[in-house]
Structure 1
């Protein structure tokens, strides 16, 4: 019997679908915001598409997270009539869907001209650049997410106010909580194993109902798939259990934001040794690792829109809440944006702590990896590492991060490094989508404004 995660080729994908006697197969891809879009496909259509690909309405590249149509993009819109775009199925992505008997899920990726805008394809192109430089990249993502004793209906009935967290109060690393609610933790761990985004760790964080999950390390492309699927199916699992999970960057002004930290390392393609480790250097930090840090540090303001892609993202980037406020780095320093982690040949790595839970995993990885590679290509050197509290430092101008989505988008749009790494078509389209997002925000009147101005001003 063919197992889902053993499928590597179109022939093996055909064999497992036929062996299970499936009438339909689930196929999904990820849009600009990292939201999974897809459908059930008939067996005959799926088998045909394995060889020839299929067509998917390109509106998923032309609308926002609420299905509102962009009015400022060139690739697709009312002016093009929203035609179909070619899509290819990825046989090696085959996974069981635990909640649906023998149902299988396959990931897909935009092809043809749409490939320039496809987040997964953008990451793949950065990986290809990495390999052309003689490195094999590895990554692992860790996410914080809040759970609520709510449903999609109840949160709307409450206007997203006065929500009931899954557990009360703050209680980080709690054995009490994960023992009392052992069934939920077991469901999360089993789901993660079965769908092949296994967790190295799962624990409570400081806040009511907040958990942190660390996904196991893998190649960067696989790490992107695993992170994107984790975010999707944790929400599925929660709702199936009468709960809700959110990955928004900061849902309450009373609690810290939710991170999506990225751990990255490079290995030399020929020898397989760590490109980041040099035993003769302080903390084992090799010249390549220093240059990689320098690239991440220097390009962090320019690439921030990929890491902080929503208006809400910037609610998290404030002092004192375990989120970076400038492009700083240090060795084993959790107050810096980049944390160099000594670990010898096996685990020497960089933690990109700026990352937030609301970012598209493919684009966040592309930004973290691409900026580091750019530093290696340019042979840049980083600033002096920060020892102590990075929040208390007076930052250099080039280390100051944009404070709003609009500002970060303008820096991204003007970035020569972004054009070179991600392609001009993607930079133009993504920038337009973020400008739309910020304009949509400005159109709406907030509760804060009403409370502050309605009577008194």
Structure 2
């Protein structure tokens, strides 16, 4: 991985002495994928946190999005007193946070405060468990996530005060690939590109997307754990740069009923001995690939319903899956076909699988873990993929469909033996409770849609 923008401890010490860095963001992600943690004085970090880590309240792995403690978790609750967990910096992730003044950032693993082992329910721990399975077979996984987002001319505070109504997208016609419309937002986008590049995230391209004010900024692929870390830093940077400019960005999967959803397409390939292990001479539909490629694809497709909440974690996620909207709705694969849930792209060393199912609201650690686990199970059990589909998959009503709602997806996940065997019963039980609470919050809330529909007419 390119280490430009990253820091060794010696470099951090030198920059601290020179007064170039005085603050370290010590962070991890909660279940929603939000960066949580502390700001630490850089001298204190070097003297203490570097060796000993720091602590956080374990309720952070049981809270809802509004930070309310949620009852019913075995992991942490009022009866157990909401104790601490241990945040252990992964120094390979120590980097400049270029968009912040004199600040560096480090991603932490979450450890149990008593056993000092990884907390099994923490998102990064779940991905690392799957990486252990992969690396025991002598393989590596490279991945990229293509994040889409909407840029708005309102500040976050203005959006809140307006009840998230009558917001002003930073665009007034569909701007997919439009250079002129993109130019209007280049002040923000160029700043984001430059900050990300200086913060250890190599940049590829940025472009307008198929929505008013919708954009995509692509970063270079990396090993799967680094890519998940980069995904988290990317979102944090984008939000904070927008906030500083009096703008806002949203990574909702479906920001508006009449606009395109925002995705996080996942590209993935396995490598062994420095070579792409998907490359081979077998004809798999129109693709030349290996047994590993074929079985990985078969397992990834087969297990989508089993782990769907890890790709689509909110009620809003499922409103993106609309036919003819560029979001996939059916479980099929094709070569370079954007109507497919799984789009195979590239050839030779660039051969890879693109899963188009996850939305921009996914937690990257969970989405990557689900993808990798499904593919590896496919290899283990030699799961054959369905026949390559050619044509408009939206029109193929006979093909199996992604779940329609979070409730439907969680019902499958809760009872699923593959999920339990892969992630552990404790993890499945914990996340089932998490997703059910998210569904309950929606089911018991009165929405603007209901008021518009029923206030006078009922």
- What TM-score results when the alignment is normalised by the length of structure 1? 0.94
Pairing partner for 1:258 from 259, 262, 272: 262
After superposition, where does 1:272-283 map in structure 2 within 5 Å? Answer: 272-282=274-284, 283=287
In proportion to residue count, which structure has more helix? Answer: 1
- Residue matched to 1:248: 252
Q: Provide the C-alpha distance between the structure 2 equivalents of 1:244 and 1:23, rounded to a whole number of angstroms.
A: 27
Per-residue CA shift, 1:251-300, capped at 9, x if unaligned?
A: 111111101000000112xx322111113434112211111111111100
- Give the SS at the match of 1:253: coil
After superposition, where does 1:189-204 map in structure 2 within 5 Å? Answer: 189-204=193-208
Q: C-alpha displacement at 1:220, in angstroms?
A: 0.3
8 Å Cα contact 2:118/2:125 also seen in 1: no
Q: C-alpha displacement at 1:18, in angstroms?
A: 4.4
- Give the SS at the match of 1:111: strand
- Give the SS at the match of 1:303: helix
Per-residue CA shift, 1:116-175, capped at 9, x if unaligned?
A: 011111111111111122321000111110000001221122211111111211121111
Q: Over the residues paired in the alignment, what is the CA RMSD in angstroms?
A: 1.9
- Give the SS at the match of 2:65: coil
8 Å Cα contact 1:56/1:85 also seen in 2: yes
Q: C-alpha displacement at 1:449, in angstroms?
A: 1.9
Structure 1 357/59 Cα, relative in aligned 2: closer, same or farther at 3 Å? same
8 Å Cα contact 2:5/2:198 also seen in 1: no
- Give the SS at the match of 1:288: helix
132-141 vs 19-28, greater mean Cα deviation: 19-28
Q: Provide the C-alpha distance between the structure 2 equivalents of 1:43 and 1:172, rounded to a whole number of angstroms.
A: 43
8 Å Cα contact 1:301/1:400 also seen in 2: no
- Residue matched to 2:418: 417
Pairing partner for 1:176 from 163, 166, 180: 180
Q: Are residues 1:131 and 2:132 paired?
A: no
Q: Provide the C-alpha distance between the structure 2 equivalents of 1:313 and 1:387, rounded to a whole number of angstroms.
A: 27
Q: Are residues 1:206 and 2:210 paired?
A: yes
After superposition, where does 1:56-455 map in structure 2 within 5 Å? Answer: 56-112=56-112, 115-268=119-272, 271-282=273-284, 283-344=287-348, 346-396=349-399, 399-455=400-456
Q: C-alpha displacement at 1:44, in angstroms?
A: 5.1
8 Å Cα contact 1:147/1:244 also seen in 2: yes
Structure 1 421/155 Cα, relative in aligned 2: closer, same or farther at 3 Å? same
384-393 vs 64-73, greater mean Cα deviation: 64-73
Q: C-alpha displacement at 1:15, in angstroms?
A: 5.3
- Give the SS at the match of 2:304: helix
Structure 1 314/190 Cα, relative in aligned 2: closer, same or farther at 3 Å? same
69-78 vs 38-47, greater mean Cα deviation: 38-47
8 Å Cα contact 1:4/1:96 also seen in 2: no
- What TM-score results when the alignment is normalised by the length of structure 2? 0.93
Per-residue CA shift, 1:180-214, capped at 9, x if unaligned?
A: 44332321210120112222110001211110122
Q: Provide the C-alpha distance between the structure 2 equivalents of 1:248 and 1:440, rounded to a whole number of angstroms.
A: 17
Q: Provide the C-alpha distance between the structure 1 equivalents of 2:246 and 2:155, rounded to a whole number of angstroms.
A: 6
Structure 1 438/57 Cα, relative in aligned 2: closer, same or farther at 3 Å? same
Q: Provide the C-alpha distance between the structure 1 equivalents of 2:203 and 2:23, rounded to a whole number of angstroms.
A: 30
Per-residue CA shift, 1:37-90, capped at 9, x if unaligned?
A: 122123454231221222111121010121122122110121221111111011
441-450 vs 21-30, greater mean Cα deviation: 21-30
Q: Provide the C-alpha distance between the structure 1 equivalents of 2:135 and 2:77, rounded to a whole number of angstroms.
A: 35
- Residue matched to 1:42: 41
Q: Provide the C-alpha distance between the structure 1 equivalents of 2:150 and 2:41, rounded to a whole number of angstroms.
A: 36
8 Å Cα contact 1:72/1:436 also seen in 2: no
- Residue matched to 1:25: 24
443-452 vs 225-234, greater mean Cα deviation: 443-452
Q: C-alpha displacement at 1:402, in angstroms?
A: 1.8
8 Å Cα contact 2:175/2:213 also seen in 1: no
8 Å Cα contact 1:143/1:214 also seen in 2: yes
Q: C-alpha displacement at 1:415, in angstroms?
A: 1.9
Per-residue CA shift, 1:221-268, capped at 9, x if unaligned?
A: 000011111111101111111110000000111111101000000112
